[in-house]
Structure 1
Amino acid sequence: MELELETSPESAPFLMFTCGSVTLLPVIDIQAFALLPTSSDRKPLFQLRVVELMEAIFNYYALHTLYTSLNAKLEEGFPLPLPRDTHLNSLELQVHENFLLLGANLD
């Protein structure tokens, strides 16, 4: 018999900020079905909640891919609405528990 796996989010992922890091916690269910050979029906077999595994995969991806591309984009800079003849320099982004701090010197 063939096996079919169906994944679906149980809820929106949790995004947590702690001192020095950002953690993405997805809540995902995987349901397995047996495809019956005599019809197009499928029979449910089992359901798994795969938070820890998906959390590890997403956080590895975020650390090694997303953070590096985000930091490269931040290095280029992006325009902020500022009064005329006002400039920011020495931008710094810090991750703290429950908030992000964006700091800069004002010229």
Structure 2
Amino acid sequence: MASKKAASNSSVASDAYTGPIIRSCSKGIIQEQDQENPLYDNYDSASSKSKKEAHPDVMSVMMADITAEAAMAEMERKINFLMKAVEERDHEITALREQMRTRETVESSQTPVV
């Protein structure tokens, strides 16, 4: 009896083992087997990395379309804007220094009454 039960268990085990191989022709099972495979994990992570790295490549191709003259003109425009901002700040600093000197002069000319 025990040998009969063991034999039936072994046939169940062998059915479980051969089952996926028989059904491996269907698309779903193949994908399932691939996902369990450690090589699939390495392929999948490499594939996702290449997708992430493709984006900077696209950006560099897009940037290559900009001519050197256009890039120089844009840089020149930005430099002029920054120079104008610095000039305005210089005028503000000069005006504040003049105000400080004026107040110091007024305060020093006033004599305290005791």
Shorter-chain TM range is under 0.3
TM-score of the aligned structures, taking structure 2 as reference length: 0.25
Structure 1 or 2: more strand by fraction: 1
TM-score of the aligned structures, taking structure 1 as reference length: 0.26
Larger radius of gyration: 2
Structure 1 or 2: more helix by fraction: 2
